[in-house]
């Protein structure tokens, strides 16, 4: 059993290497995790230490990506900002995956009025533009990174629930599910033992593809001042504060902008690659 | 004392304009150790009768008693274990991501039975598969092997009754005979009772002691195997089915 799982992971790894774009995405994501983990070792300045005599210095050997309007090192802030980005996207995923699955799978499995009620609630959430909804929630809850996470999670779960419902519906009437029911298996066992393993690939893919929009929404909230609060380094907020000096100090906006672009592109590529790799029809 | 006793069974689906009576006034008894067949054309309601017996279809009325105990549309775990179902399609009836061992362990976990590994090995041996098959996934098995696993899953709870929904129609002809013989051997050894749905008269004649012929949701005739083999059936529809199963018989005058 364990051997079979190891073998499966190995096959997955082989097909990941065979897909250069997905592998590039994978490397960037691994890089992000490493940078976030070893931020104190990688940063060569204190990310929140202000030094007004050093304000708005262009990139140099000392300040690799220059300094911002308070004289803080942009490179060090970028490195620490990776933590914020990773924190938000991982936390949103961890919150959203079980909630989305539970709601969608329950709706799909039980059907009837439960399905109608749960799916109409999902529709209500889906009908708002996600950034506006996140904005409204974080404005209501107050600015801050935890509230930003909650606000983003509220906008991300509906598509997951939809997906889980659709997947559940396709397996709901399958003979192996009926067989389990006829042997006395309860709803919880059927959902978690029988439906989850079948839904998992598409939900994982969807979540990976969502990562980039989570990162962009987090950056957007930060840009609007509702995400991470100063002096905490966050890429969106960094890009926003550099906007005033765009003509004099291009590095302030460009560097975090490129970081956001790279990471969300990487998650997209990885998600696309995973879709090709994990699709059971290709196995 | 019959092990299955069905009276006035009626099944309908939908309501209002969509209302459709699928099974009407069906009554039969099955003796222990007997194989009772249900034949009829597609859509005549034979699988629905089986579904009602299995507890799969909830919207039925009438009275059904299994092993001397009256059962309703909702069954307890013990009642469910008395009869188990084998499905038509061995490719759809096994969970694609579960190993064979996992598939066979599930019902034991649900019913809280002990000696799980021993039971799994024993049931695999019973259906003629090596115990090492526990570690395989369904896609690594052939159709006949999968159907053996499906039978093993049905047997692992030690049911008295197996409900067979066209158990061989999705298999190759050579494999069909193997599965039918396996079913026959298991029945003799464990004194199992079978209810078999099929539209293959040859399968019916091979396994069944008695067969009910269904047309449009009703039984038109209950015939014994001898009657089928001798062709001494009463109802014209049964005769049509029997004629149909003989296939193409070339006219004699052309043969010479």
A226-279 pLDDT, tens digit per residue, is: 888 878 888 888 888 888 888 888 888 899 999 999 999 999 999 888 888 876
Q: How many distinct structural domains can be found in chain A?
A: 1
pLDDT at B66 over 60: yes
Cβ count near A193 (within 10 Å): 17
Query: To the nearest whole angstrom, how far is the Cα of B147 from the nearest Cα of chain A?
Result: 12
Per-residue pLDDT at A176 exceeds 90: yes
CB atoms within 10 A of CB A187: 12
Mean pLDDT for the stretch of residues B28-47: 90
What string of DSSP letters covers B176-217?
A: HHHHHHHHHHHHHHHT-EEEEE-S-HHHHHHH-SEEEEEETT
Q: Which of A172, A227, A224, A212 is nearest to A195 (CA)?
A: A172
Instruction: Please indicate if any CB of chain B lies within 8 Å of the CB of A136.
Output: no
**Which residue in A1, A184, A193 is closest to B99 by CB distance?**
A1
A48-72: average pLDDT: 85
* pLDDT-above-90 percentage for chain B: 42
Q: Chain A residues with CB inside 8 Å of B98's CB?
A: 194, 197
SS3 A92: helix
ipTM above 0.90, yes or no: no
| In a domain? residue A204 | yes
- Cβ-based contacts under 8 A for chains A and B: 63
Q: How far apart are CA A106 and CA A202, in angstroms?
A: 17
What is the C-alpha separation between B186 and B3, in angstroms, rounded?
18
Range of the domain at A248: 16-282
Over residues A144-165, mean pLDDT: 91
A8 within domain boundaries = no
* Beta-ladder partners of B9: B26
Please state, in angstroms and rounded to a whole number, the distance separating the CA atoms of residues A279 and A120: 29
Q: Which of A145, A105, A111, A115 is nearest to A225 (CA)?
A: A145
Dihedral Cα A92, A226, A228, A67, nearest 10 deg: 130
Percent of chain A with pLDDT over 70: 97
Element of type H or E holding B232: none
Superfamily in which the B4-93+160-247 domain is placed by CATH: P-loop containing nucleotide triphosphate hydrolases (3.40.50.300)
Contact between B167 and B187 (Cβ < 8 Å): no
CB contact under 8 A, A193 and B94: no
pLDDT tens per residue across span B155-184? 999 999 999 999 988 888 888 999 999 999
Domain extents for chain B? 4-93+160-247
Cβ atoms A63, A57 nearer than 8 A: yes
**Locus of tokens 């049931």:** B123
| pLDDT of B192 higher than 60 | yes
Chain B: closest CA distance from residue A189 (Å): 9
> What share of chain A in percent tops pLDDT 90?
36
φ and ψ of B23, to 5 deg? -130, 130
Q: Nearest-CA residue of chain A relative to B95? A: A176
CA dist., res. A151 & res. A62, Å (int):
38
CA-nearest residue of chain B to A199?
A: B97
Do strands B60-66 and B4-13 pair parallel, antiparallel, or not at all (unpaired)?
antiparallel
Residues 186-225, chain A, touching B (beta carbon < 8 A)? 186, 189, 193-194, 197-198
Contacts of A182 in chain B (CB under 8 A): 54-56, 80, 84-85
CA-based nearest residue in chain A for residue B153: A179
Number of Cα atoms under 13 Å in the Cβ half of residue B93: 27
Distance CA B5, CA B66 (A): 7
CB neighbours (10 Å) of residue A38?
A: 12
Q: Which of B58, B95, B100 to mutate to test the interface with A (most CBs of A within 10 A)?
A: B95
Interface with chain A: mutation pick from B99, B106, B153, B163, highest number of A CBs within 10 Å: B106
Six-digit token string for A178: 């009926």
Q: How many angstroms separate the CA atoms of B125 and B117, rounded?
A: 12
CA distance A112 to chain B (A): 13
Is residue B23 within 8 Å of residue B14, measured between CB atoms?
no
Q: A89: closest CA among A161, A157, A152, A164?
A: A152
**How do residues A9-34 score in pLDDT, each as one tens digit?**
888 888 888 889 999 999 999 999 99
Lowest mean pLDDT among B10-14, B37-41, B227-231: B227-231
State the Cα angle at A26 between A24 and A31, rounded to 5°: 95
With respect to residue A11, please indicate whether it lies within any of the assigned structural domains.
no
Residues 6 or more apart in contact with residue A234 via CB below 8 angstroms: A81, A84, A85, A145, A218, A219, A222, A227, A228
Average pLDDT over residues B118-127: 93
Instruction: Give this prediction's pTM.
Output: 0.82
Contact B105, B116 (CB under 8 A): yes
User: Which residues face B222 on adjacent strands?
Assistant: B212
Name the CA radius of gyration of chain A, rounded. Answer: 22
Among A107-121, B47-61, B225-239, the range with the most confident prediction by mean pLDDT is A107-121
What value does the CA radius of gyration of chain B take, rounded to a whole number of Å? 19
Helical packing angle, B100-110 and B143-155, nearest 10°: 20
Mean pLDDT for B142-157 is 93
> B159 in helix, strand or coil?
coil
Residue B251 has pLDDT above 70, yes or no: no
Determine the 3-state secondary structure of B225 from DSSP.
Answer: helix
Distance (Å) from the alpha carbon of B204 to chain A's nearest alpha carbon: 23
Q: What is the CATH number of the domain that holds A116?
A: 1.10.3720.10
SS3 B87: coil
A145-172 and A74-110 are packed helices; what angle lies between their axes, rounded to 10 degrees? 30
Alpha-carbon distance of B224 to B232, in angstroms, equals: 10
Is A83 among the domain residues? Answer: yes
CB atoms A183 and B93 under 8 Å: no
Domain assignment present for residue A7? The answer is: no
Query: Which helix (H) or strand (E) covers residue A233, if one does?
Result: none
Token output for A105: 């799978």
């Amino acid at each position: 059993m364990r051997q079979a799982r190891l073998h499966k992971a190995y096959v997955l790894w082989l097909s990941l290497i065979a897909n250069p774009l997905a592998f590039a995405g994978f490397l960037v994501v691994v890089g992000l995790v490493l940078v976030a983990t070893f931020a104190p070792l990688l940063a060569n300045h204190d990310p929140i230490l202000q030094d007004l005599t050093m304000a708005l210095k262009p990139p140099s050997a000392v300040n690799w990506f220059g300094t911002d309007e308070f004289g803080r090192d942009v490179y060090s802030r970028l490195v620490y900002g990776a933590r914020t980005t990773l924190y938000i996207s991982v936390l949103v995923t961890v919150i959203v995956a079980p909630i989305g699955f539970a709601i969608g799978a329950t709706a799909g499995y039980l059907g009837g009025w439960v399905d109608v009620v749960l799916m109409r609630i999902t529709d209500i959430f889906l009908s708002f533009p996600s950034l506006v909804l996140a904005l409204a929630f974080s404005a209501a809850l107050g600015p801050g990174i935890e509230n930003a996470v909650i606000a983003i999670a509220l906008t991300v779960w509906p598509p997951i629930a939809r997906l889980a419902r659709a997947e559940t519906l396709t397996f709901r009437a399958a003979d192996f599910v009926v067989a389990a029911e006829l042997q006395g298996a309860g709803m919880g066992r059927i959902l978690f033992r029988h439906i989850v393993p079948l839904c998992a690939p598409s939900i994982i893919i969807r979540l990976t593809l969502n990562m980039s929009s989570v990162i962009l929404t987090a950056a957007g909230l930060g840009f609007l001042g509702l995400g991470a609060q100063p002096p905490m380094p966050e890429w969106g907020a960094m890009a926003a504060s550099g906007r005033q000096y765009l003509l004099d100090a291009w590095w302030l906006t460009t560097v975090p902008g490129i970081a956001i672009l790279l990471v969300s592109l990487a998650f997209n590529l990885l998600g696309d690659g995973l879709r090709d790799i994990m699709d059971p029809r290709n196995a | 004392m019959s092990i299955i006793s069905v009276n006035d069974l009626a099944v309908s689906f939908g309501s209002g304009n969509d209302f459709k009576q699928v099974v009407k006034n069906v009554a039969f008894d099955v003796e222990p150790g007997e194989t009772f067949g249900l034949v009829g054309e597609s859509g005549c309601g034979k699988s629905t009768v089986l579904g009602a017996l299995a507890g799969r279809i909830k919207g039925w009325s009438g009275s059904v008693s299994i092993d001397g105990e009256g059962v309703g549309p909702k069954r307890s775990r013990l009642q469910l274990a008395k009869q188990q179902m084998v499905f038509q399609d061995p490719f759809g009836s096994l969970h694609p991501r579960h190993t064979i061992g996992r598939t066979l362990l599930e019902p034991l976990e649900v019913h809280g039975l002990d000696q799980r590994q021993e039971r799994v090995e024993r049931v695999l041996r019973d259906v003629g598969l090596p115990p090492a098959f526990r570690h395989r996934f369904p896609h690594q098995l052939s159709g006949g092997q999968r159907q053996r696993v499906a039978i093993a899953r049905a047997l692992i709870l030690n049911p008295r009754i197996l409900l067979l929904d066209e158990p061989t129609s999705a298999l190759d002809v050579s494999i069909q005979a193997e599965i039918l013989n396996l079913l026959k051997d298991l029945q003799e050894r464990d004194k199992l009772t079978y209810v078999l749905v099929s539209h293959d008269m040859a399968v019916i004649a091979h396994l069944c002691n008695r067969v009910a012929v269904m047309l449009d949701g009703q039984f038109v005739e209950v015939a014994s195997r001898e009657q089928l083999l001798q062709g001494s059936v009463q109802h014209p529809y049964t005769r049509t089915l029997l004629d149909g199963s003989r296939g193409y018989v070339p006219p004699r005058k052309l043969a010479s």
